[in-house]
Amino acid sequence: MGRPAKFGEDRILDAALAVLAEDGPGAATIGAIAARLGAPSGSIYHRFGSRDLLLATLWARCARRFQEGFAAALAADDAEAAALHTPRWCRAHPDEAAVLLLYRRQDLVAEWPERFAALNEESAAALDSFAERHPGLERERLVFATVDVPYGAVRRHLLARRPPPPEVDALIVTACRAVLSS
């Protein structure tokens, strides 16, 4: 049995997140991440193979962490809480929220289908289950109210590297209620 890895995946991803947060995507080189971690570059290449795969894996970890709360709100039968999860999570996790602007899921799946194809399965299942429990509610309306509206509301703030202001929450709730009640 080999010895445990000194620089595990989560430690490497945490270092990459720190570099991205402090200096932006362009500064997130393997060398900068290795220096932040105190690891040789070879340790990172051994685990990920490329900078692009490392950043894509970080993106996927951020997406999974976000999706946990979203899916939990839908499982609790609370569409408004699911919609509000987006701005609240972005305020609580600004660095991870900024990472989510780096890639689109379909680009990751196209590049690494075996790693990222199942990325949105939990959220999709939560949306399907919610829609099944609410006959007469079109799934597309649910997606618009809980995914599209909140994403649109926070995106410009995140692009400006600032958290979405609290006023966004009331706007999201208003839109969510209007879409789901029509």
All structural domains of the chain with their residue ranges:
1-49, 63-181
What CA–CA distance (Å, rounded) separates 129 from 60?
A: 23
Number of H helices, E strands in the chain: 12, 0
Check whether 173 has a pLDDT greater than 80.
yes
Check whether 177 has a pLDDT greater than 90.
yes
Question: Pick from 173, 90, 74, 83: which is nearest to 133 by CA?
Answer: 74
Check whether 170 has a pLDDT greater than 80.
yes
What CA–CA distance (Å, rounded) separates 152 from 133?
A: 26
**How confident is the prediction for the chain on average, in pLDDT?**
92
- When pLDDT is averaged across residues 85-94 and rounded to a whole number, the result is 97
The model's pTM: 0.90
What share of the chain in percent tops pLDDT 90? 78
pLDDT tier at 84, thresholds 50, 70, 90: very high
CATH class of 1-49: mainly alpha
Task: Say if residues 85 and 69 touch (Cβ distance below 8 Å).
Answer: yes
DSSP state of 76: T
12-48 tens-digit pLDDT: 999 999 999 998 888 999 999 999 999 999 999 999 9
Find where tokens 């509610």 sit: 137
What share of the chain in percent tops pLDDT 70? 97
Q: Classify residue 41 by burial, with Cβ atoms within 10 Å: 0-12, 13-18, 19+.
A: middle
